[in-house]
């Protein structure tokens, strides 16, 4: 019998021989739900255990290099021995991070120390706590390195490039969008900022050879090997690999893939810590009960479905929508700003028309809104030139609006992560703002009531109510 051995192939993959695969596969396991039909055609579910390593029993296999610390830690707890051959490529020695006009907080300094030590991994910092400052601080630590910065929306791309220019990176910055290919002779210190959709179109040689560091904003979207992010990261051999997010993937397989492509969590600031230290605004949760309407319930009961209840009892619910208008009026009277987040475009249009009938002009930002107009509206809201904006999921995460006083969750979903992300739009404090109000609804109808309770449980877990 051979000795359990792992060979580091590159910064993306490791190979385990058959003895090592047998030894480590438990640490790379996750539960998967499989839908099956029995011989009578009845659907059922079965929970099966799978492993994030190739091969089968009695053979070797490959796994993602970011999982190597997890494997070594698991083996360290046993009496088994594991031989690791090779080493991961490292970045040059970093210099001290520095940005003009910025004094880094202790938690940011700690994050820089971890990044300098490990050079790959996940950074978990709440929305509004300065993830972009950390990203630019990393760029200042390796001024001689080529960096690929990735995000999934044009709004995030514009936000990052704007801040990069403010802090003196204009000469290093190359913005990639619309399928544009960066020149072959990228200067050594270039920072290529791109959406994942644009960088996916680059030729394989460019993805592999051009970059020393890859950073992904809102990195919880990296949870599948065959996704756009997964494909790009598996073909990018940058030794520096950092994921920035406020919320890590919560499904077992997604969390393993994320860790495999970046590495384990190396720095974290919890929301409760950020609020306690005054880094983040304190959430104030307001729950508005929606009156039960027999007519609406009777209309939905004809062929019950979630989609029907949502359309009738949320999107087209006149009483519920009037409650939203009332909250907007209260906010305007206080000379404050409010963001209304919707799920479906139809609901946004209904609210826009209803507010207009009440003498309130509100721009509506959604997927088809041109990026230039999105940026303009966001800047106007930030400067107080607009007090109210309706937005779909395009503004549900990543976009920071420090001046925001109130977020109204007009949708009725049970997305735990999305609920946290939504209030995060206004988490950043200002000289005059230390509290962010979140207005949510308690819906009394089937499906929607369960979703309301699920969101309440999120607030309770965070100790906001």
The mean-pLDDT minimum among 262-271, 382-391, 404-413, 434-443 falls in 382-391
pLDDT in tens, 127-179: 889 999 999 999 999 999 999 999 998 888 988 999 999 999 999 999 886 65
| pLDDT for position 184 | 54
Pick 155 or 44 by higher pLDDT. 155
pLDDT attached to residue 289: 97
**Tokens representing residue 23 in the block:** 């030894």
Q: Tokens 């995030």 — which residue?
A: 156
Q: Which two three-digit tokens encode residue 63?
A: 């796994």
CA distance 245 to 457: 22
Sign of CA dihedral 367, 405, 268, 111: positive
Percentage of residues of the chain with pLDDT beyond 70:
95
Q: Looking at 110-114, 140-144, 398-402, which range is the least confident one?
A: 398-402
Average pLDDT over residues 261-284: 94
Instruction: Report whether pLDDT(2) > 70.
Output: yes
- The Cα–Cα gap between 196 and 151 comes to 6
Residue 417 clears pLDDT 80, i.e. is over it = no
Residue 398 has pLDDT above 60, yes or no: no
> Is the model's pLDDT at 63 over the cut of 60?
yes
Q: Are 22 and 60 in contact (CB under 8 A)?
A: no
pLDDT category of residue 364 using cuts at 50, 70 and 90: very high
> Domains plus CATH for the chain?
5-85 (no CATH), 106-273 (3.40.50.300), 281-461 (3.40.50.300)
Lowest mean pLDDT among 43-47, 56-60, 362-366: 43-47
Position 178 scores a pLDDT of 60
What average pLDDT does range 260-279 have in this prediction?
95
Question: Considering only 148-162, 241-255, 373-387, which range has the smallest mean pLDDT?
Answer: 373-387
Q: Is the pLDDT reported for residue 406 higher than 70?
A: yes
User: What value does the mean pLDDT take over residues 398-407?
Assistant: 80
Distances (CA, A) of 15 to 67, 74, 254: 12, 17, 21
- Region 8-16 average pLDDT: 97
SS (H, E, C) the chain: CCCCEEEECCCCEEEECHHHHHHHHHHHEEEEEEEEECCCCCEEEEEEEEECCCCCCCCCEEEEHHHHHHHHHHHHCCCCCCEEECCCCCCCCCCCCCCCCCCCCHHHHHHHHHHHHHCEEEEECCCCCCHHHHHHHHHHHCCCCCEEEEECCHHHHHHHHHHHHHCCCCCCEEEECCCCCCCCCCCCCCEEEEEHHHHCCCCHHHHHHCCCEEEEECHHHCCCCCCHHHHHHHCCCCCEEEEEECCCCCCHHHHHHHHHHCCCEEEECCHHHHHHCCCECEEEEEEEECCCCHHHHHHHHCCCCHHHHHHHHHHCCHHHHHHHHHHHHHHHHCCCCEEEECCCHHHHHHHHHHHHHCCCCCCEECCCCCHHHHHHHHHHHHCCCCCEEEECHHHCCCCCCCCCCEEEECCCCCCHHHHHHHHHHHCECCCCCCEEEEEEEECCCCCHHHHHHHHHHHHHHCCCC
Identify the pLDDT of residue 206.
72
**Residue indicated by tokens 């950092």:** 242
Mean model confidence pLDDT for the chain: 90
Q: Say what the pLDDT of residue 322 is.
A: 97
Worst-scoring range by mean pLDDT, 4-8, 54-58, 87-91, 151-155? 151-155
Residue 303 has pLDDT above 80, yes or no: no
* Mean pLDDT confidence for 295-323: 93
- pTM of this structure: 0.88
Q: According to the model, what pLDDT value does residue 74 have? A: 93
115-137: average pLDDT: 95
């Amino acid at each position: 019998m051979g000795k359990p051995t792992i060979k580091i192939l590159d910064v993306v993959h490791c190979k385990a021989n058959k003895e090592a695969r047998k030894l480590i596969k438990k640490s790379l396991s996750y539960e998967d739900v499989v839908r099956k039909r029995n011989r009578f055609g009845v659907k059922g579910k079965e929970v099966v255990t799978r492993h994030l390593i190739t091969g089968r029993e009695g053979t070797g296999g490959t796994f993602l290099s970011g999982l190597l610390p997890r494997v070594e830690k698991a083996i360290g707890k046993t009496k088994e021995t594991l031989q690791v051959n090779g080493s991961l490529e490292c970045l040059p020695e970093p210099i001290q991070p520095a940005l003009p006009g910025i004094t880094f907080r202790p938690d940011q300094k700690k994050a820089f120390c971890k990044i300098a030590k490990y050079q790959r991994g996940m950074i978990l910092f709440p929305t509004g706590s300065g993830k972009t400052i950390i990203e630019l601080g990393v760029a200042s630590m390796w001024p001689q390195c080529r960096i690929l910065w990735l995000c999934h929306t044009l709004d995030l791309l514009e936000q990052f490039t704007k801040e990069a220019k403010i802090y003196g990176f204009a000469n290093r910055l190359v913005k990639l969008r619309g399928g544009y290919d960066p020149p072959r002779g990228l200067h050594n210190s270039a920072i290529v900022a791109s959406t994942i959709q644009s960088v996916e179109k680059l030729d394989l040689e460019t993805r592999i050879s051009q970059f020393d560091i890859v950073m992904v904003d809102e990195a919880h979207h990296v949870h599948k090997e065959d996704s756009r992010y997964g494909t790009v990261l598996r073909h990018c051999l940058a030794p520096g690999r950092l994921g920035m997010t406020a919320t890590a993937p919560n499904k077992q397989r997604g969390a393993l893939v994320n860790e495999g492509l970046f590495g384990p969590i190396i720095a974290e600031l919890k929301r409760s810590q950020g609020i306690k230290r005054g880094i983040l605004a304190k959430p104030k949760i307001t729950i508005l009960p929606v009156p039960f309407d027999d007519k609406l319930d009777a209309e939905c009961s004809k062929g019950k479905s979630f989609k029907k209840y949502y359309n009738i009892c949320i999107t087209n619910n006149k009483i519920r929508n009037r409650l939203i208008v009332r909250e907007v009026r209260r906010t305007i009277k206080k000379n404050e700003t409010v963001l209304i987040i919707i799920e479906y475009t139809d609901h946004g249009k209904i609210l826009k028309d209803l507010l207009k009938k009440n003498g309130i002009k509100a721009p509506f930002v959604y997927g088809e809104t041109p990026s230039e107009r999105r940026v303009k509206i966001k800047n106007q809201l930030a400067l107080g030139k607009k007090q109210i904006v309706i937005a779909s999921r395009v503004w549900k995460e990543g976009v920071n609006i420090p001046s925001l006083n109130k977020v109204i969750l007009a949708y009725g979903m049970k997305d735990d992560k999305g609920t946290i992300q939504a209030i995060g739009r206004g988490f950043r404090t200002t000289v005059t703002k230390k509290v962010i109000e979140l207005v949510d609804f308690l819906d009394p109808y089937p499906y929607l009531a369960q979703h309301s309770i699920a969101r309440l449980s999120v607030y309770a877990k965070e100790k906001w109510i």
